[in-house]
Structure 1
Amino acid sequence: MLRNEIPEFLMENRGKIIYIPSSNRNLDLYYESLVGRDKRKIVKVDDLIEEEDFYRINYQLIDVLKKQEEYIILISVEGLLRKYYCSGEVLELNLGMGIGQRKLEEILENGGYRKSYMVSERMEYSIRGDIMDIYPPSGDNPIRLEFYGNEIDRMGYFSLESQKTIEKQGHIHMYINKNNENGIDFFHMLEKLSTGHKILVENLELIKYKMETGILRERDREKEIRDLFKKIENNSQHLEVIKSEIKREKDKNTEIPEGVKYEKLSQIVVGDYIIHEKYGVGIYLGLENIDGQDYLKIKYADEDKLYVPLEGLKRIERYICEPGAVPSIYNLGTRGFKRRREKLQKDMMEFAKEIIKIQARRKINNGYGFSRDTVWQEEFEEKFPYRETRDQRRAIEDVKRDMESPRIMDRIVCGDVGYGKTEVAIRATFKAVMDGKQVLIMAPTTVLAQQHYERFKKRFEDYPITMEVLSRIKSEKQQDEIINSLKNGTIDVIIGTHRLLSEDVGFKDLGLIVLDEEQKFGVKAKEKLKGIREKVDILTLTATPIPRTLNLALLGIRDISIIETAPEGRIPVETSFIDSDKKIIREKIMEEIAREGQIFYIYNVVKSIESKVKEIQELVPKYVKVDYIHGKMSAQRIRRVLEEFEEGEIDILVSSTIIENGIDIENANSIFIEGMDKLGLSQVYQLRGRVGRGKVKGYCYLIVDSDKKGKKVQMREDSLREVTENGGGGFQLSLEDMKIRGAGEILGEQQHGALEIFGYNLYMKLLKEEITKVKGDYREDLDIKINLEEEAFIPNDYINSDEKLIVYRRAMDSGTLKELNSLKNEVRDRFGKIPKEVENLFRFLRIKVLGRETYVKEIRKENDNYFIGFYEEKIKFEKLYKMIETGRVKYSKKQGGIFIEEDIEEFLREYKEEE
């Protein structure tokens, strides 16, 4: 039977269905298409790698098989060959159940769970007051329980991304451990499902081939696998599926879930330099509670202390500037900082005007508007062999929207190494060529240009697109021929290095430029590109954007799309700092060799690289082949060595940082980096991204001489460890790197002084303010003093100190009642019943929002009354006269305001509505 509409075919087939697709890609496509459309339980079992995924799907299968309901199991060949546990320890939870936190904690501890403040991985649990979070090995989302005494008062699932509850439940059934007590109680899928099921198999010959490949890998299971194939052949319905005609369902839900990722990189911690808009740089000493209010305590010169109330949080930023530089700290009573600020703000005003001119030029519709996607474009995109992540899809849509607009595109796509930036560029390239335009793709090195050429050529092999690479590998005659073909339009896509910007290179109809890692290009190339930006659409790809690029995006001069989501199945690279001890290095090398993997060894001193190769050869057995490359070798030699490495003929490749960009060897899964102190943090991060590209765990070993470890190396070590442990990737890393390398070149030498005084964060904030002033959009926040004589703060036993400042900052940044209510609901959800002090804090903030909207200058409590003072130029006299006449309020001319006896919040709400 020939099929090309598989999801509809499966929906028509009722009962218990086992479907065996011929590829994992098809398995993903069918699953996407069926979920939400078919009411039956849909289970997907692909080529599982990670342990936690195995247990999650194993328990899902147990649940499905126990129930006498209809379902569809989509299972790969690898999935069929696996053994599954027949049972697992189950815990049933019900609303109102009297189990108690202590009892449940004991059950979890016995099941091997780890306790943490906030759960982030499976087999973790946390307790915050009456709230208990559990992330079991089964299920898609972690569980949140709220207790009232020993009873479960509320329960449901929550999102790891936002930490918010997403689905309330009355009953939860979960498996609580990973251990199978019976030890040998396993089942194979077809053994378990031999009766009462319809088994559907597509492209049986391909399935047979895959199983034979499996036999070659596992000789001890040859008979078992052959028997399994016979069962499939004899007990199933066979379908021939035309893969090219299977359509991918478009994911309409491309919105990122609501919520905030709690990044720790921008978090202020005790001992940090911070800067106050009015008083300058000081040292943060933590939160201190005074008379029922929390204050930020900051130390200035001569032991001066400043206590900043919470509403002053928006005036404080973390101070980030040049490494090793000690910022000027003034006494609180002097005018030193104020004088310097006034002088520097004049320069910032001029710079703001410059930025606005650039923004205005970008808005002019003087570019080429590309056509909407063609049928060919859709077909081309369906041939992408992987499943796009949500971030990747959004970046693709951003680029297409820019290209279809008549405005000239200047977009950065920022994403970690291996997160799918190249595919975004490939689709943009295809779109441009479909409109008859030429595309220039520029890489910083010959090696990367060649790799891009091979990757693009493979993706375009089914389409009549002409493509060439222009680099020093080509002879002069070949280069001349390529340049002539570019000028007469017979080449659609040209890939190369900065050679493409030479005077002799011309185009018939250039429509798109793709720049890979623009920061690696030289000054001349950047100057040439500056002129091109105003004429042709430009797409920039980067893993760690240099601070200048990042800031231009933040200021609206360039657009940015961020790919933060790792591809499905990607296992994080494990990073370790090891001592420069030959025994340790040999041990780690041999661990990788033993698992039949290959190794990069980064050594960035060209003069002595051959000596380093000999040193490594002496460390390892003779059968381990070692070779090397560096940037001063001929392009042909580099290419030959890389080809040998890719073919597996070389076990260890000693290299300079030439492999930093674009080298993609799936079997190279360990990298050693020597001389980290001489590399930029983002360089280290890029190099680390050369391993772990496939479905095998990658390891990065940073070699550090503990006897010579300086402050700079320690800062890099701390920052890289923080990024790898807490997430955030290259985009966050670029901000951290700036702290280490210095921020002097961010926005030009002219702004260096302002950056040094204000630090990066405050500088950017002040610059944005200057831009809004020049535009005429600036609205100065009116100060409002409020004293309600109530304790309004977050107690330490409700939210711990690490989270508390984040919540405070979000609360103070909430500018509307809706935002405050949303935050309050989130706090209630995540931390449990809100204490009186926190209720008072939200009431205080609501009154502040209402007061700001009604131009109130001051609110204070006097005995049982409230005094409200207004900004006189904003006051609604007619309205107040009516209130005074009715006796509802009392007017005090002396104090310039009114007294009321009713609830202040209700009064301000009514006053605002009538206004």
Structure 2
Amino acid sequence: MKNIYEFLKNLKDEKRTKECQLLIVNDEKQAQIASDIVAYLGLKPFVLSDFRANFGDDLLSFSNELQDITKTLSSYYSYKKLDKILISPIRTISYALPKEKCFDSFTINFADTIKIDELKSKLYNWGYYFVDIVTSEGEVSIRGDIIDICPLGSDFGFRVSLFDDEVESIRKFDIEDQKSTKDEIEFFTINPAFLALDENSLSEINEKIENISSDAFIKDIHSLGFWYLDELGEYLPQNLSSFITQDALEELDEVYVFEEKRINKDKFLLTPQIYSSKNYQEIAPANVKEFISFHKEKKITIISGTEAKVKGYDLDLNDKKIKYVFENYILNLVSNDEVIISLNKEIKKRRKKKVKLVLDELQLNDYVVHEKHGIGQYKGIEPVTVMGAKRDFVIVMYAGDDKLLIPVENIDLIDRYVADGSSYAVVDKLGKGSFAKLKEKVKDRLFAIANDIIKMAAARELVNGIKINTDKKILEDFQKSAGFDYTKDQKRSIKEIFADLSSGRVMDRLLSGDVGFGKTEVAMNAMLAVILDGFQAIFVCPTTLLATQHYHSMQKRFSEFGISIAKLDGKTSAKEKAHIKKGLASGEIKLVIGTHSLLEIQTDNLALVIIDEEHKFGVKQKEKLKHLREDVHIFSMSATPIPRTLNLALSKLKGMSSLLTPPTERLGVRTYVKEFSEKLIKEIILREKRRGGQLFYVHNNIASIEVKKKDIEAIVPNIKIQVIHSQIKPADAEKVIDAFENKEFDILLATSIVESGLHLPNANSIIIDGADRFGIADLHQLRGRVGRSNKEGFCYYIVEDKKQITPDAVKRLVALESNSYLGSGTALAHQDLEIRGGGNIIGEDQSGHIKQIGYGLYLKMLEDALASLSENGKIEKKSVDIKLAISAYISDDYILEDRVRLELYRRLSKVNDIQEVYVIEEEMEDRFGKLDIYTKQFIELIIIKILALNLGIQNISSYEMNITFTKDDATKESIKSPSKDDDDIIATTLRYLRK
């Protein structure tokens, strides 16, 4: 920081800033520091992303960096003033980058004439992805007379509505919920998503890509195009006045391990160097006000994002001796005559918005569960003509090739079948009644569970809780000593727990959050509050491995407080056990961490029980913990999110908190999909070894895992490998993990047992064998094993033979690879996890029932059981059978993509309020244009369904002009329509239902 500041300040003082047009730094962090300095000095910075690919790498997992480079260069070229500086990490600038002519742009204006084929061709050449729904920058969707596009660098999309080939309106739309703004705009600009290439350049690149050998999973312009561009220029001395930092020069050898395609290394050695500063020192003042008072004779500048922050530091905004700069720069320096202090903290990198609409919910051949008929296989939507009228039906296949046709307005009766990763669905037999019996059995069991949950919650309500004083400065100091800033979710969860602990009521709270999101840190705040008040706490984990990990981390975090901590698990010797039990009974030991062994202990003054990975414990075990003392506070933690509906049902009975944001310092995990080759495996292992790291290798087959070990040893001789799986004794498994943590070997070869709980920050590459055989949620969880420190993680999804896997598996793997939400890989993984999270609340002893009926239906039934017991009876869900001779469906002329139609069918089938139907209808008009007659009639059919359900009507049918309504009590009423035309039948039915 200090050397860059002094160098640029001197240039500015001497009015020679034009002499530095390119600044080469070490990495992304240094580039951000340089950017703040350049902007602070009144110049215009343009920062290139840190592009750490080696020539020939599959670039899908670098798509964010390439997009950022394209955006930066595009802005850099279009900025015509001379006060600009391009800042680049050494790895990025070591490649030749696109020339100015690659950054053309064009504008779409109101009333322009658009030739669709020409526009499609241009956008394709410019690197836009053509998708069903635009959910990310660099995507376009053309649907009849509606064009949706999200240009590079935009946080929102633009929706162009055409009348014939003329632009009738342009509006912005939100890529999260697809809704457009009411106000129209006059024009917008489209810049390249990759580069502005013409037809010939693109053909040449594609030809080169076809003729190369590459291990890229899909060989196209997005994965390999950058390597074969002719339109590249070198950004070094002959083009620009360049300077390089000492750190960047020291990095050169590391950068040039792979030299292919990079600029000649000597050119960097000839670039003028920025030397260390003699006059400036970097500072981190603990007390800003005091620090300023020591340097009051100097020129003082305070940088702050807001005035409020200045007041928070008790500084005087009217003090004329201090210059205030209200920006987000971070710059902390002192010299003989100057002090610059920034009150700002590092801002977290903006993450991609999650899409609210989850598409891909049902794939062809997915297993589904029908509420009445059980598990079948989804075979798509087909139009069927009944009594001369056309309707869409969902086709579900059952055992013996039996086919069930479900009217699309009742699609809410089926859900995707989700059980655990290892179970396969068994298809039911239609019409045998066995599924109904099974459901009844599960229902009885769930009522018993729900009853227990409610009874226990009621009993605990009557007991006075142990009141803990959580308003202590020492607790604030503990949070500050974590070595990182807490996320907003962590702060909120701690506040909620402290409110419970100090309320005088007994706490029963569940905290859910993804792996590595900091649940244990939240729990430690609760433990410390309780122990400082003189009470004891116990921390229960499902495995000895986890117990050991938590024991070590808590010893470290609590070391300054002199708290006596013990560990009690299957490994503890009989002598130690007796000593620990005695210490707990006397109150001498304040905190104990352990496994199921803790169910048998006696304590002196226990106030808090924390259950980690609580879904791994059965209901009875959790009960036993709660009965250690009737007024004990219970805090449970789970790595899977809880579905919103169940959250609501349970939150009446227990407190619910969740961690949804990752810690600031965590980097993303670079993800690749590859076909297996020995050369690739060798390269992955050696690359991780070179940076001093270790690897997980997931091979999910115990029978062949030893053979796999020998294979890896043959590929990379002298590599140290150990094996772990569920059939290894816990004590032996723990030894292996300890040895791995102590870096005694390089590769932990395991089954998917490593999916949850383990925190091994030095293991930052994971290879997953047979990735196409895992569910997307499991792949997402496994990927979470790496990148858990401040080091970048690498995840490799390996498939045996890409020709043998289904197109859907390819799509899902590539969606995970590029993180672009093209499918909605991450959203879908989250949804799977959410469903499981609900099942997990009950404990593993329920897995048999879950496997038989799937998580989705299981949860619905649990919610119903909880609601009916806590709300004194819940009305049974009703359905209505509509057999009207009308053609009503979302036409494929109106919406071409099946998955988008399916999503709308599902949303409309779940609506039970007419106003909501109109909201969806308005959204459809906005997204897809004016409704055609059949789609309009389908909307009216949904309104008929809602009105009929509210009136207790079971069946509506028509024959010729007669319409018959059958009520719940089996009474019938018939009316006549003026004609048998669709519009008359609909109007007459609606009149009757609304009267």
How high is the TM-score relative to the length of structure 1?
0.69
| In 2: Cα distance, 1:676 partner to 1:104 partner | 38
Q: Deviations over 1:705-739 (max 9, x none)?
A: 99xx9x9x999999999988722577645589899
Match of 2:105 among 79, 90, 102: 90
| In 2: Cα distance, 1:857 partner to 1:578 partner | 54
| In 2: Cα distance, 1:430 partner to 1:896 partner | 73
| CA 818–86 in structure 1, closer or farther in 2 if over 3 Å, else same | farther
| CA 139–297 in structure 1, closer or farther in 2 if over 3 Å, else same | closer
Match of 2:455 among 357, 372, 388: 357
The alpha carbon displacement at 1:795 in A equals 0.9
Q: What is residue 634 of structure 2 aligned with on the other side?
A: 538
For the Cα contact (< 8 Å) 2:965–2:973, is it kept in 1? Answer: no
| CA 144–402 in structure 1, closer or farther in 2 if over 3 Å, else same | farther
| CA 124–80 in structure 1, closer or farther in 2 if over 3 Å, else same | closer
| CA 690–182 in structure 1, closer or farther in 2 if over 3 Å, else same | same
| In 1: Cα distance, 2:965 partner to 2:562 partner | 73
Q: What is residue 763 of structure 2 aligned with on the other side?
A: 668
Q: What is residue 312 of structure 1 aligned with on the other side?
A: 410
**CA RMSD in angstroms, aligned pairs only:** 6.5
What SS class does the counterpart of residue 642 from structure 1 fall into?
A: helix
| CA 145–503 in structure 1, closer or farther in 2 if over 3 Å, else same | same
Match of 2:380 among 261, 277, 286: 286
For the Cα contact (< 8 Å) 1:789–1:861, is it kept in 2? Answer: yes
Q: Deviations over 1:119-167 (max 9, x none)?
A: 4555433323333333444233454433333334444554444344479
How high is the TM-score relative to the length of structure 2?
0.64
Q: What is residue 429 of structure 2 aligned with on the other side?
A: 329
| In 1: Cα distance, 2:482 partner to 2:112 partner | 49
| In 1: Cα distance, 2:64 partner to 2:620 partner | 50
Aligned ranges 1:150-549 → 2 under 5 Å = 150-165=165-180, 169-179=185-195, 183-184=232-233, 186=235, 226-227=273-274, 239-240=332-333, 260-262=356-358, 264=360, 267=362, 269-270=364-365, 272=367, 274-277=369-372, 284-287=378-381, 288-290=383-385, 291-298=389-396, 306-318=404-416, 323=423, 326-331=426-431, 353-361=451-459, 364=462, 366-368=464-466, 377=475, 381=479, 399=497, 403=501, 407-430=505-528, 432=530, 437-456=535-554, 464=561, 466=563, 468-470=565-567, 493-503=591-601, 506-511=603-608, 513-518=609-614, 528-529=624-625, 531-532=627-628, 535-543=631-639
| In 2: Cα distance, 1:561 partner to 1:464 partner | 27
Match of 1:124 among 130, 139, 146: 139
The alpha carbon displacement at 1:812 in A equals 1.8
| In 2: Cα distance, 1:25 partner to 1:365 partner | 53
What SS class does the counterpart of residue 441 from structure 1 fall into?
A: strand
- Partner amino acid, structure 2, of 1:329: K
- Partner amino acid, structure 2, of 1:149: D
For the Cα contact (< 8 Å) 2:511–2:658, is it kept in 1? Answer: yes
The alpha carbon displacement at 1:466 in A equals 3.0
The alpha carbon displacement at 1:176 in A equals 0.9
Q: What is residue 902 of structure 2 aligned with on the other side?
A: 805
For the Cα contact (< 8 Å) 1:60–1:139, is it kept in 2? Answer: no
| CA 432–68 in structure 1, closer or farther in 2 if over 3 Å, else same | farther
| CA 719–391 in structure 1, closer or farther in 2 if over 3 Å, else same | farther
Q: Deviations over 1:603-637 (max 9, x none)?
A: 79999999976664443244x45567775667996
Q: What is residue 835 of structure 1 aligned with on the other side?
A: 932
| In 2: Cα distance, 1:769 partner to 1:788 partner | 32
Q: What is residue 825 of structure 1 aligned with on the other side?
A: 922
| CA 537–482 in structure 1, closer or farther in 2 if over 3 Å, else same | same
| In 2: Cα distance, 1:736 partner to 1:714 partner | 25
| In 1: Cα distance, 2:929 partner to 2:701 partner | 57
| CA 446–246 in structure 1, closer or farther in 2 if over 3 Å, else same | farther
Is the aligned partner of 1:101 residue 2:116?
Answer: yes
For the Cα contact (< 8 Å) 2:566–2:593, is it kept in 1? Answer: yes
| In 2: Cα distance, 1:501 partner to 1:904 partner | 67
| In 1: Cα distance, 2:248 partner to 2:402 partner | 75
For the Cα contact (< 8 Å) 2:135–2:176, is it kept in 1? Answer: no
- Partner amino acid, structure 2, of 1:820: V
Q: Deviations over 1:150-209 (max 9, x none)?
A: 334444554444344479654433431434986336499xx9999xxxxxxxxxxxx999
What SS class does the counterpart of residue 698 from structure 1 fall into?
A: strand
What SS class does the counterpart of residue 908 from structure 2 fall into?
A: helix
| CA 546–500 in structure 1, closer or farther in 2 if over 3 Å, else same | farther
The alpha carbon displacement at 1:107 in A equals 1.5
Q: What is residue 222 of structure 2 aligned with on the other side?
A: none
- Partner amino acid, structure 1, of 2:71: Y
Q: What is residue 890 of structure 2 aligned with on the other side?
A: 794
What SS class does the counterpart of residue 117 from structure 1 fall into?
A: coil
Q: Deviations over 1:66-121 (max 9, x none)?
A: 6699x999999999999997853333333433334332221111112332323455
Match of 1:816 among 913, 932, 940: 913
The alpha carbon displacement at 1:329 in A equals 1.4
Q: What is residue 9 of structure 1 aligned with on the other side?
A: none
What SS class does the counterpart of residue 233 from structure 2 fall into?
A: coil
| CA 530–335 in structure 1, closer or farther in 2 if over 3 Å, else same | same
Count of aligned pairs: 835
Q: Deviations over 1:635-663 (max 9, x none)?
A: 99657633542xxx744345687865554
Q: What is residue 68 of structure 2 aligned with on the other side?
A: 56
- Range moving further from structure 2, 479-488 or 855-864: 855-864
- Partner amino acid, structure 2, of 1:470: K
For the Cα contact (< 8 Å) 2:586–2:604, is it kept in 1? Answer: yes
The alpha carbon displacement at 1:396 in A equals 5.6
| In 2: Cα distance, 1:430 partner to 1:819 partner | 48
| In 2: Cα distance, 1:677 partner to 1:103 partner | 38
The alpha carbon displacement at 1:327 in A equals 4.5
What SS class does the counterpart of residue 274 from structure 2 fall into?
A: helix
What SS class does the counterpart of residue 232 from structure 2 fall into?
A: coil
For the Cα contact (< 8 Å) 1:449–1:496, is it kept in 2? Answer: yes
What SS class does the counterpart of residue 727 from structure 1 fall into?
A: helix
The alpha carbon displacement at 1:811 in A equals 0.7
| In 1: Cα distance, 2:172 partner to 2:531 partner | 47
| In 2: Cα distance, 1:145 partner to 1:393 partner | 43
What SS class does the counterpart of residue 292 from structure 1 fall into?
A: strand
| In 1: Cα distance, 2:425 partner to 2:763 partner | 39
| In 2: Cα distance, 1:485 partner to 1:445 partner | 23
Q: What is residue 13 of structure 1 aligned with on the other side?
A: none
The alpha carbon displacement at 1:390 in A equals 6.9
Q: Percent identity, aligned pairs only?
A: 28
- Partner amino acid, structure 2, of 1:671: I
For the Cα contact (< 8 Å) 2:160–2:168, is it kept in 1? Answer: yes
- Partner amino acid, structure 2, of 1:97: D
Q: What is residue 765 of structure 1 aligned with on the other side?
A: 860
| CA 390–898 in structure 1, closer or farther in 2 if over 3 Å, else same | farther
| CA 52–492 in structure 1, closer or farther in 2 if over 3 Å, else same | same
| In 2: Cα distance, 1:609 partner to 1:281 partner | 33
For the Cα contact (< 8 Å) 2:245–2:274, is it kept in 1? Answer: no
